[in-house]
Amino acid sequence: MGQELRGSADRITREYFDSLLVEMRHIDGKLPDTSFSLYGESFDTPIMMAALSHLDNLHEKGMVEMAKGAKMANAVNWAGMGEMDELEEITATGARTIKIIKPYADNKMIFERIEHAKKCGVLAVGIDVDHAFNGSGNYDTVLGYEMRPKSADEIREFAGAAGIPFIIKGVLSEKDAYKCLKAGVKGIVVSHHHGIMDYAVPPLKVLPSIVKVIGGEIPVFVDCGILSGMDAFKALALGATAVSAGRVIMEPLKKDGAEGVRDTILKMNNELKGVMARTGCYDLAHMDSSVIWQGL
């Protein structure tokens, strides 16, 4: 096996997901309820869209189609890097959307995009801090834009300027989780950005310790490798507030547009309900980490 495959964070994450086993609990069981509240609004599922971008290669106006699918499923939509007019089209669908902005070197660009997202009526806004550096130890460049790491003080400024919930995406340590909490953010995404660094710890492995640091003060979201309702259940049982599914919706989006996205979310949510029913975790307030076992 080559070094690249051995160190793949995506492969390691998949193997960790599959190493987690689930015990059954049927006595005193109840029909499961996946309804979910976030920032004062109600949704039918804790399975959200991921902060994807540039999906026009899959479907005409792919980001807009994804938003339509999320709205039809009454799920939270997320949007990654994209032009301002695209965000306007996304939010015009009525999908409750969280906008994630890149950590541009020029903070003025970040403040401008925060203000624009607010005008579009997004549910929340944030930054994916894990795009600050490239794999060679230099500052990252994305589509010609220079990136920079952000200090806790800068994050505090962004959060204060937002006036709506501000989220940091790319948290994969207790230390960063603590800094986010102290900087006044209103949510974090536990993520390694789909394998941005080899040998990155699987999000679910570090999740329980991050949840302990956060102490229920803000939502803790998880992405990377959520492919099924069972994957979603494992993350939720270990303390996630909600999860984001990304690559699993790409083929349905390409084939069937918004309806394919909707159907994928509904399928995953039904899978989630199936596991919840068989584990005694009958709603999201009663998820129980003790049903999760590590290894055989």
Res 4: pLDDT: 55
Q: Global pTM?
A: 0.96
- Report which DSSP code applies to 197: S
CATH of residue 109's domain is 3.20.20.70
- What pLDDT does residue 42 have? 98
> Sign of torsion, CA 173 177 180 182?
negative
Strand 77-79 with 141-142, pairing: unpaired
| Tens of each residue's pLDDT in the chain, 296 residues | 444 577 899 999 999 999 999 999 999 999 999 999 999 999 999 999 999 999 999 999 999 999 999 999 999 999 999 999 999 999 999 999 999 999 999 999 999 999 999 999 999 999 999 999 999 999 999 999 999 999 999 999 999 999 999 999 999 999 999 999 999 999 999 999 998 999 999 999 999 999 999 999 999 999 999 999 999 999 999 999 999 999 999 999 999 999 999 999 999 999 999 999 999 999 999 999 999 998 77
Rounded Cα distance, 190 and 204, in Å: 8
Nearest 5°: CA angle at 203, between 202 and 207? 125
The pLDDT of residue 6: 75
Q: What value, to the nearest 5°, has the Cα angle with vertex 202 and ends 197 and 208? A: 135
pLDDT at site 292: 98
Q: Give the per-residue pLDDT at 295.
A: 79
Q: What is the largest CA-CA distance in the chain?
A: 58
The 10 Å Cβ neighbour count of residue 165 is 20
Number of domains in the chain: 1
Percentages helix, strand, coil for the chain, rounded to the nearest 5? Answer: 45, 20, 40
Q: What are phi and psi of 204, to 5 degrees?
A: -70, -25
Q: What is the DSSP string of 80-101?
A: -S--HHHHHHHHHTT--EEEEE
The reported pLDDT for the residue numbered 1 is 43
Give the structural domain span for 50: 3-23+31-294
